[in-house]
Structure 1
């Protein structure tokens, strides 16, 4: 396989970078260049270009420090909705809003736990985990019931589904409270769930590697200008060596990410849990090193290094901590 970016990926990367230089509503501006529909399933009106396109977008969002969690949450939900028997014919208006970037979809209960229950003829009760902030148009809910776990499709309605603003380490989020919200059964098989989860993890890995790449560049620029005891920090072997290792490993993980996306798009089963684990660990390491190299200045709450450290702490655990992902990858080997 050829791991070099193809012309389409290069143009997509350039287009996303251009959007990130503008001010205004980021989801709407990404929608203007067609980003939300690029990887969406064909039966839902998308172009189904696969993860090879998705990872480009997410890596650039990470590099621009614009995580836009709602974008990946929507992609995850649409992957689960892309199944035989899903009532897609009733969702045309909602799908149009998703592709315009004005609203987004979420997956509730992706990490298990059964906080939402289904009873009373398909009505949902309970509270979601932390979700991306914004206007939620559609929920794919993993529920707990008398017959075990099941998947439900819910359209939030006033009175039965309340969206509460939240915050996680300074990053805006939201929670959903279901009070008898109506829902429909969604026939998601175990194989379908596992494949959708794998795709979501590869997208998340791309985001984390983009964040790590950016904060590594910031740390490199800092040590080239910051002096200590009369000479630049970069001239100290321990500093230069750690940054060189970090840069080299980052390039290697990006190659592995492209390989995982390439295999997935061709029907393969790359180890997405391991891919997200290494991306999470690499981003955590990069943010720690940057924080240390910036010294006291980097520990100020408003500093770039501290902001990225908090961002990585949230994003590296969104679909499982690295430790939990390694255990999962090991048990599947």
Structure 2
């Protein structure tokens, strides 16, 4: 297997970098180059380029300090709803980049519930900021079973509350009797979709780590202390060299896991392990960047501080690293999901 970045991935990375430098709506700029259509299933009208294309997009978003979590949530929902025939008119808007989709209660428990009349009640966790028209919510039904439901965002039954985590924008959805349609999925599709979402999240975190290391390397080469650049101190140069080497290794692992998934040869535990190491590595690199910048790094507008805040939020969005290590085993059939066997 050749783990070198192919020409298509290189051009895609360049296109994402260009979109991030524009002054308009970032989501609109990404839609213009085919995001999220790039990795969306062909049965829904996407290009079906797979996870190998998605990780390139997300790694560059992380490096650009624009994680855009609504994009990853949208791709996850598209994978979950593939070939279900559910909410097709809204899916067309999502594929065009006009609206976003998200999950609620899928990555973390929220206590959402559905009554006997099929209406959803409760509050979501903090979600990435976005214009959501479609929600896949995991909720407990009146009979005690837990399963996923599809909900169309209606202002009358789903209020949106703007919020923040570590000064990063988020939203919470407050469901007050929203009409919910039960979604029956094969357990294998549910597991594969969640694993792919973890790999995309790992790509963002490794992109953040690379940006933090780039900023730290630039700083220690410029910063002169006691008549010599900081990089001449062995404790500084050796520490950064180790992190750079680890980044290269984790990036290769990221592409390997994505490639195996696209070939249908994935190990169900690899996605959780990859996300765990990516989260730990991103936190380590962003902390190192803060440390090396000293007081300058603690300023709210500094790149080092921004990277650290982003890493702190994104590292826990799909579970803390310790929990991911503990759960790095094949997914059991989730309640309310059917097996294709």
TM-score by length of 2: 0.93
Corresponding position of 2:123: 127
CA shift for structure 1 position 229: 1.4
Corresponding position of 2:54: 54
Corresponding position of 1:16: 16
What SS is found at the alignment partner of 1:163?
strand
Confirm or deny: 8 A CA contact 1:166 1:172 kept in the other structure.
yes
1:159 aligns with 2:163: no
Confirm or deny: 8 A CA contact 2:107 2:317 kept in the other structure.
no
For residues 272-309 of structure 1, give each alpha carbon's deviation from its aligned partner in whole angstroms, at most 9, with x where no partner exists.
00000111111000000000000011112222211111
CA shift for structure 1 position 250: 0.2
What SS is found at the alignment partner of 1:38?
coil
Corresponding position of 2:166: 169
Corresponding position of 2:74: 74
What SS is found at the alignment partner of 2:36?
helix
For residues 299-326 of structure 1, give each alpha carbon's deviation from its aligned partner in whole angstroms, at most 9, with x where no partner exists.
1222221111111000011111111111
CA shift for structure 1 position 120: 3.0
CA shift for structure 1 position 171: 0.6
Corresponding position of 1:43: 43
Confirm or deny: 8 A CA contact 2:151 2:179 kept in the other structure.
yes
Confirm or deny: 8 A CA contact 1:114 1:149 kept in the other structure.
no
Residue ranges of structure 1 left out of the alignment (5+ in a row): none
CA shift for structure 1 position 111: 2.5
Corresponding position of 2:247: 250
Distance 2:85 2:166 in 1: 37
Corresponding position of 1:144: 140
Distance 1:176 1:290 in 2: 35
1:190 aligns with 2:164: no
Paired residue total: 328
Distance 1:46 1:111 in 2: 25
TM-score by length of 1: 0.95
Distance 2:15 2:303 in 1: 25
For residues 252-281 of structure 1, give each alpha carbon's deviation from its aligned partner in whole angstroms, at most 9, with x where no partner exists.
000000000000001122310000011111
Distance 1:222 1:198 in 2: 36
Corresponding position of 1:97: 93
For residues 208-249 of structure 1, give each alpha carbon's deviation from its aligned partner in whole angstroms, at most 9, with x where no partner exists.
111110110000000001011111100000000000001010
Confirm or deny: 8 A CA contact 1:72 1:203 kept in the other structure.
yes
Kindly report which structure 2 residues correspond to 1:313-324, keeping only aligned pairs within 5 A, or say none.
Answer: 313-324=312-323
Confirm or deny: 8 A CA contact 2:108 2:125 kept in the other structure.
no
What SS is found at the alignment partner of 1:188?
coil
Q: Whose helix proportion is higher, 1 or 2? A: 1
Distance 2:60 2:191 in 1: 26
Corresponding position of 1:64: 64
Of 85, 100, 111, the residue aligned with 1:87 is: 85
